[in-house]
């Protein structure tokens, strides 16, 4: 599985965990364009934070990289990486690539929006 697929699979596993706790009308659709933030999202701020924590754990368990998603870097970006599943996957891909290239001196090319 390529790195992009690993990141997306980790996000979708976290979405599955989140959906198990949510009523049917508040569940996230597993699609790139699904809104995670703002008026289009079905998540409140607490559920968004819970989802980010679940994604961090999935990334650590499956890819072996420890990340903090809701940090100063993410929160200061002009466009939030938390807008959609796609924007979050792109951001996570960048962080994973940076972590792996720093540790192993090799990186991966992730898709751009």
Backbone angles phi, psi at 99, to 5 degrees: -65, -45
User: What are the two backbone dihedrals, phi and then psi, of residue 14, each rounded to the nearest 5 degrees?
Assistant: -65, -40
- pLDDT at residue 100, as a whole number: 84
Asked, for residue 27, whether it belongs to a domain, the answer is no
Contact predicate 98/24, CB 8 Å: no
- Examine residue 109 and state whether it is found in any structural domain, yes or no: no
Three-state SS across 22-76? CCHHHCCCCCCCCECCCCCCCCCHHHHHHHHHHHHHHHHHHCCCCCCCCCHHHHC
Give a yes or no: residue 74 inside a domain. yes
Give the structural domain span for 46: 3-19+32-104
Q: What is the pLDDT of residue 109?
A: 45
Rounded-to-integer distance, Cα 8 and Cα 96, Å: 12
Examine residue 113 and state whether it is found in any structural domain, yes or no.
no
Q: Is residue 12 a part of any domain in this protein?
A: yes
Lowest mean pLDDT, pick from 10-14, 43-47, 100-104, 106-110: 106-110
pLDDT tens-digit profile of 22-81? Answer: 999 999 999 999 999 999 999 999 999 999 999 999 999 999 999 999 999 999 999 999
How much is the pTM?
A: 0.85
Task: List for the chain the helix, strand, coil content (%; round to 5).
Answer: 55, 0, 40
Structural domain count, the chain: 1
CB atoms within 10 A of CB 6: 18
Tell me if 67 is assigned to some domain: yes
Q: Considering the domain boundaries, does residue 25 fall inside one?
A: no
Q: Domain with 66 in it: what CATH number?
A: 1.10.1200
């Amino acid at each position: 599985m390529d790195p992009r697929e690993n990141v997306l699979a980790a996000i979708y596993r976290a979405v599955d965990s989140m959906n198990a706790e949510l009523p049917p009308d508040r569940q996230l659709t597993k699609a790139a364009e699904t809104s995670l933030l703002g008026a289009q999202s079905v998540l409140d701020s607490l559920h968004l934070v819970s989802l980010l924590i679940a994604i961090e754990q999935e990334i650590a368990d499956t890819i072996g990289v420890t990340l903090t998603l809701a940090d100063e870097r993410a929160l200061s970006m002009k466009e939030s990486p938390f807008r959609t599943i796609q924007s979050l996957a792109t951001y996570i891909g960048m962080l994973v690539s940076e972590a792996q290239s720093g540790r192993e001196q090799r990186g991966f090319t992730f898709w751009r929006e």
